Amino acid sequence: MSSKDIKSKINGGYPLHTFEDIKDIYSLYIEDKKSRDLIEKAYNYALKKHEGVYRNTGEEYIHHPLEVAYILAKLHVGPITISSGFLHDVVEDTDTSIETIAKEFGKEVASLVDALTKIQRLKLSHDQGKINFTAEDHKKIFLGMSKDIRVIIVKLADRLHNMRTAEGLSTERIERLSQETLEVFVPIAHRLGLYTIQSELEDLSLKYLRPEIYHHIEEMLNKKMKYRKKSLDSLMKRIADMLFEKHIPFEITSRVKSIYSIYKKLYLKGHTFDEIYDVLAIRIITDTELRCYEIIGLIHAIYKPIPGRFKDYIAVPKANMYQSLHSSIISGAGDFFEVQVRTKEMNEIAETGVAAHWKYKEGSKSSRKKEQKEIESKLHWFRDFVAMSADNSDDAKNYMDNLRHDIFESSVYVLTPLGKVIDLPSGATPIDFAYKIHTKVGDSAVGAIVNNIMVPLNTVLKSGDVCEIKTSTNSSGPNEGWLKIAKTTSALSHIRKALLKKTASLLKEEKIIKGKETLRESFKEIGFSDDEMISHISNKNILEKFECQNVDDLYIKVHNRAVGPKQIIDFLGLKSKQGYEIKLDKIHDTNDSSPVIVGNETKIATTLGNCCSPIPGDDIVGYITKGKGVTIHRIDCPNITRDRKRLIEASWREDLPTKNYPVDIEIKATDRSNLLTDIMGVISQHNVPISAISAHLHNETQTTTFTATIHVSDSKRLHDIFNVILNVRGVYEVDRIIH
Ligand code: MN
């Protein structure tokens, strides 16, 4: 049909369908009167609402919802979905509200129409303003679609009809529509296995974007068909004869590779036309799986198969549920043909994917939730898709990249020992595999057995590998190295979470040790030994008084400064065993080992307080301890206020050699991915060593507190690095810690 012919533009040159045509189709599988009435009501409602409006291609507007509903009915979807197809533009284009739809057609139809309207609105705002679709826009479309698989199916039918009839639009809009179709709708149709829709969308996009290439391929195909027709016919006849002889039920057809898939082979993969073995294929449909293998065996006995071209997608289905046997053979005339053998069910799935699996079954009691669950378990990627879409923290660009990488481009199919297929992106390892099975399997993985051989966790998996994960309850769990091995976003985020949890529990151990140390110092000051301290505090009264389960809890409370050592000592009624005497130890051997001048003395042994870690530049004060000389604290350290008598003036020496001092800091930030990496990054970029870092997640507030020990020469430098850290996105507070 020529595009110059104005009449051919009506409905893009496609035949127009009437409501009766649609009714003929759905009446075959929907018998319930209520359901049929709902569809009819939806049609009449749309008819009335869109009355008097015409499309760019010249026909009345109602033909758009009619064609969308026709495409849907062909997929054998249920009454709710067909009705939504009729009503999908009513809220957006007429004065109808979503509440009215809910009242007239029920909540389910309304929620589908609402989701479709939102996607449409987004596109409109884009059409009027921005030139390019941003990642943010695409993310919103996917978010809208991830809620209900039926939204995707209606949206795909809508897009397909709009693409068929795009000729009425401006060149610029056609291009944008085609580009978006290839970027957003084709990948999702592919992953849902809606092959018929996918390939029509691809061919139309190519036709609009690169008409010369499209027509060139079309021409080559026609030539090839003409030339091969005879050889194809005789091949089909011979196979049919043979199958008939053997009493094998079959149906045999031929199929031509789609223009877009030829385009991909020619232009994106650099093949020549003659190198494409599967331009022409013979498809044999039979009744059982076993027959499929029998048929392919019989064919291989007559025609020579091309080595390396046999593919068993029955044993290893594709991620979109596609199943079939493929083989390329050389015909008697020396031509290459692809042979595809599958059952009737497999063929339906090959053509309409998820829709075939989810075909409307009258009277089936399965609920929406159950259906969505079933889909998610059959199409395991869909579960990842929903999870990824639900996690709103990622920015749009990341989301789209992850979607593309983890979901649309996954290409390795690995089997569990029980034969379940797990799809992974190329380069994925047993760690990715383990996390796809279950977070717990990932977290406790210790090794992997691939095809019966024990392999290291960084082994790259290939399609068809059978992988078994060895787990252990004694596993130390994920480590930093796993971040380099894992390829999928979901595994990476689980590993990061596990690592943070681990540091948080390490933190607990540390707190016990530090709290104990603090308490021990206070007991020592009043002349009590470790053992004496432990026997004093291990008493039930004291644990009860401070609301602790055990002594470790008490240490933690001391460390957190929820309970002071003095409170404990007072509660126990302990008195100092001896009066303390102030005796300062002089340094005799070297001149410069103390950085601090105490009183006017430069040669007094000093220790820097562990609690407040003073550094040059800080205002400081000395605290005279029993037996340990003078401890230097920051002037505002709460640990020194107890006993004013023991304080002594102190200041930093002015001729200090440059040296780094440890400082404990605390960073508070709102959660996001790569937060810790970014913080560590800027700290080390400024040549500040970090000797410890731990993280504490606060799930309720979606924030994280990091504690770190960094090494700096003085307070000025510390101040500078604080500013650098505060500039990291998400960080809202940085402080020194006083223990
Ligand atoms: Mn529409």
Distance 349 CA to ligand 1 centre (A): 26
For residue 581, pLDDT beyond 80: no
Please tell me the predicted confidence (pLDDT) of residue 2: 39
Question: What does the H/E/C string look like for 604-670?
Answer: ECEEECCCCCCCCCCCEEEEECCCCCEEEEECCCHHHCCCHHHEEEEEECCCCCCCCEEEEEEEEEE
Most confident of 36-45, 517-526, 591-600: 36-45
Q: Which residues pair with 454 in a beta bridge?
A: 449
The whole-angstrom separation of Cα 229 and Cα 223 is 10
Using a CB cutoff of 5 Å, list residues around ligand 1, an ion: 89, 158
Distance from C-alpha of 13 to C-alpha of 22, rounded to nearest angstrom: 19
If we measure between CA atoms, which residue out of 277, 284, 223 comes closest to residue 254? Answer: 284
- Centre of ligand 1 to C-alpha 164, Å, is 12
Strand partners, 256: 280
Q: What is the mean pLDDT of residues 286-292?
A: 92
Residue 628 pLDDT grade (very low, low, confident, very high; cuts 50, 70, 90): low
Check pLDDT > 80 for residue 627: no
C-alpha 203/C-alpha 189 separation (Å) is 14
587 against 271, higher pLDDT: 271
> Does residue 331 have a pLDDT over 70?
yes
| Higher-pLDDT residue of 99, 682 | 99
DSSP code string of 306-354:
PTT--EETTTS--TT----EEEEEE-TTS-EEEEEEEEHHHHHHHHHHH
DSSP assignment string, 463-524: TT-BEEEEE-TT-----TTHHHH--SHHHHHHHHHHHHHHHHHHHHHHHHHHHHHHHHHHHH
Q: What is the pLDDT, as a whole number, of residue 464?
A: 72
Q: Cβ distance 435 to 490 under 8 Å?
A: yes
pLDDT digits (tens, 9 = 90+) for 450-472: 888 888 888 888 877 889 998 88
Percentage of residues of the chain with pLDDT beyond 70? 84
Average pLDDT over residues 315-321: 76
3-state secondary structure of 693: strand
The H or E element that residue 252 is part of is strand 251-256
Tens of pLDDT, residues 353-396: 777 766 666 656 556 666 666 666 656 666 666 666 666 555 66
The confidence score (pLDDT) of residue 205 equals 95
For the record, the structure tokens of 488 come out as: 């999928």
Confidence (pLDDT) at 582: 45
Whole-angstrom Cα Rg for the chain:
36
3 pLDDT more than 60? no
- For 580, left (φ over 0), alpha (ψ -120 to 50), or beta? beta
Strand ranges across the sheet with 690-698 = 690-698, 703-712, 661-670, 731-736
What per-residue confidence (pLDDT) applies to 164? 94
Please list, in sequence order, all residues whose beta carbon lies within 8 angstroms of the beta carbon of residue 69, skipping any fewer than 6 positions away.
Answer: 22, 39, 43, 82, 85, 86, 157
Side chain identity, residue 347: N
User: What's the pLDDT at 538?
Assistant: 85
Q: Note the pLDDT of residue 367.
A: 62
User: Is residue 335 scored above 60 in pLDDT?
Assistant: yes
* 267 confidence band (pLDDT: 50, 70, 90): confident
Which of the listed ranges 10-19, 83-92, 566-575 does the model predict with the highest average pLDDT?
Answer: 83-92
- pLDDT surpasses 60 at 7: no
What was the pLDDT predicted at 5? 42
Distance between CA atoms of residues 417 and 667, nearest Å: 46
Rounded to whole angstroms, the Cα distance separating 654 from 595 reads 9
pLDDT of residue 371: 63
pLDDT in tens, 411-421: 677 888 877 77
The pLDDT, as a whole number, for residue 131 is: 42
By the 8 A CB rule, do 325 and 340 touch?
Answer: yes
For residue 644, the model assigns a pLDDT of: 67
Distance, in Å, from the CA atom of 98 to the CA atom of 603, rounded to the nearest integer, reads: 83
pLDDT for 125 equals: 47
Q: Is residue 440 a contact partner of residue 523, using CB atoms and an 8 Å limit?
A: no
Q: In this structure, are residues 31 and 362 in contact, taking their beta carbons and an 8 Å threshold?
A: yes
Instruction: Give the mean pLDDT of 632-642.
Output: 76
Coil, strand or helix at 718: helix
Average pLDDT over residues 573-583: 61
The pLDDT score that the predictor gives to residue 203 is 96
The rounded distance, in Å, linking the Cα atoms of 446 and 476 is 9
Q: Which letter does DSSP use for residue 736 in this model?
A: E
Calculate how far, in angstroms, residue 128's C-alpha sits from the geometric centre of ligand 1: 17
Query: What is the DSSP pairing of strand 412-415 with strand 336-343?
Result: unpaired
DSSP 3-state assignment of 103? Answer: helix
Contacts of 22 (CB under 8 A, 6+ apart): 43, 66, 69, 70, 73, 82
Relative orientation angle of helices 149-164 and 171-180, to the nearest 10 degrees: 150
Query: How many CA atoms lie within 13 Å of 440's alpha carbon, on the beta-carbon side?
Result: 3
Q: What is the pLDDT of residue 406?
A: 64
Which tokens hold the place of 587?
Answer: 């340094």
Cα of 108 vs centre of ligand 1, distance in Å, is 19
pLDDT tens, position by position, 212-241: 999 999 999 988 888 888 888 888 899 999
DSSP state of 592: S
Q: Which residue has the higher pLDDT, 624 or 568?
A: 568
Say how many Å lie between the CA of residue 682 and the centre of ligand 1: 49
For residue 68, report the distance from its CA to the centre of ligand 1, in Å.
8
- Compute, in angstroms, the gap from residue 111 CA to the centroid of ligand 1: 16
Ligand 1 centroid–CA 50 distance in Å is 12
Measure CA of the first residue to CA of the last residue in the chain; give whole Å: 83
Q: 469 CB contacts (<8 Å, ≥6 apart)?
A: 430, 433, 434, 437, 441, 445, 447, 448
CA of 21 to the centre of ligand 1 (A): 19
What the block records as the tokens of 53 is: 């409006």
CA distance linking residue 347 with residue 193, whole number of Å: 11
The pLDDT value recorded for residue 354 is 73
581 neighbors 564 (Cβ within 8 angstroms): no
Query: What's CA 247's distance to the chain center, in Å?
Result: 50
Domains and CATH numbers, the chain: 3-209 (1.10.3210.10), 213-357 (3.30.460.10), 581-657 (no CATH), 661-736 (3.30.70.260)
Give the residue among 738, 526, 514 at the shortest CA–CA distance from 625.
Answer: 526
**The pair of three-digit structure tokens given for residue 661, joined into one six-digit string:** 């001092």
- List, by residue number, the catalytic residues: 92-93
- The tokens describing 330, both together, are 């050389």
Is pLDDT above 60 for 132? no
- CA dist., res. 243 & res. 122, Å (int): 54
Higher pLDDT, 136 or 609: 609
**pLDDT at res. 113:** 92
For residues 353, 356, 357, 361, the Cα torsion angle rounded to the nearest 10 degrees is 160
pLDDT at position 580: 43
Q: Which amino acid is at 233?
A: D
Structural contact between residues 621 and 640, judged by C-beta atoms closer than 8 angstroms: yes
- Alpha-carbon distance of 500 to 480, in angstroms, equals 11
d(CA 320, CA 357): 11
The pLDDT value given to residue 390? 64
**Separation of alpha carbons 323 and 312, rounded Å:** 8
Q: Which residues pair with 682 in a beta bridge?
A: none
Average pLDDT of every residue of the chain: 82
Q: How far is the CA of 161 from the centre of ligand 1 (A)?
A: 8
pLDDT surpasses 70 at 674: yes
CA 279: distance to chain centroid? 36
**CA of 159 relative to ligand 1 center, distance in Å:** 7
